[in-house]
Amino acid sequence: MKINGYTRTCGLLGNPVEHTMSPVIHNTLSERLGQNLVYVPFHVPSGHVREAVEGAYALNLLGMNVTVPYKSEVIPFLKDIDPLAGQIGAVNTLVRVENGYKGYNTDMPGLYRAMCEDGVRIEGEKVLILGAGGVARAVAMLLAQKKAAQIFLLNRSLDRAMLVAEEVNRIAGRELAEVMPLSEYDRLPAGERYLAVQATNVGMFPNVEEAAIEDEKFYEKVHTGYDLIFNPSETRFMQKVRSYGGRAYGGMKMLLYQGIIAYELWTGVQVERELAAEIYDRLLQEI
């Protein structure tokens, strides 16, 4: 790609950013689509988020992604926020507007697009969410929006899970989400099989031999497992789901599509499925 005075820049704000896969997504998109745009990661030290956002705007950056630990911290420094991002309480994409940036959350639309492509249904499903952190909260919001029949939040800390469940039930207008300790999954109704979303960091590289739940009896209850971890591309959770006859998917397509949706917001172009598949293969090679 030729870089010149017309080249636009997008980037990633985070801490750390050294192992990000996002440049693979965005720079490949620019190359394939003939866009004069480059994507660069920016390591932002703690306490400097405001300066980073204002500096990005002053430097005429077209847009930014935001990763941990700044997805909520960045919100006060934005000119506007998309309703979905406001509901989730987290922003991962900044789009340049007059006098600043508008914040979006493309993580959950990315997850939904990935699930649809993998043939995973949400509407009418009974769903288990492992974890109750920010990602699990966002997943629960998505499930409520897409009309899941029931949600069980399994977490070590019940207090945190209760807060998520109360918020989801308030938004849904019904008792959609229930809470139980991670160790007490055997309280789930006998004979039921569930869609399970693994939303903890257990099993993430380099601790690839771990799973949030090890007991095989849990996996007998899972017809489909979706692990939001993308490295490794096949987690222990996924292996255990498959060993009991379930379908299992990892977080790589979510990573892919959250990036693609951000790129579409920045540039106004539509990324075709064939190009998405090409970049997905490249991500797998990078891992």
CA 150 to chain CA centroid, nearest Å: 21
Q: Is 217 a catalytic residue?
A: no
Kindly report each contact of residues 271-275 with a partner whose C-beta sits within 8 Å and lies 24 or more positions away, as own/partner: 271/29, 271/33, 275/29, 275/32, 275/33
Q: Are 111 and 135 in contact, with CB atoms under 8 Å apart?
A: no
d(CA 134, CA 112): 17
Catalytic, out of 2, 71, 79, 221: 71
> Taking the CB of residue 113, how many other CB atoms lie within 10 A of it?
19
Residues recognised as catalytic = 71
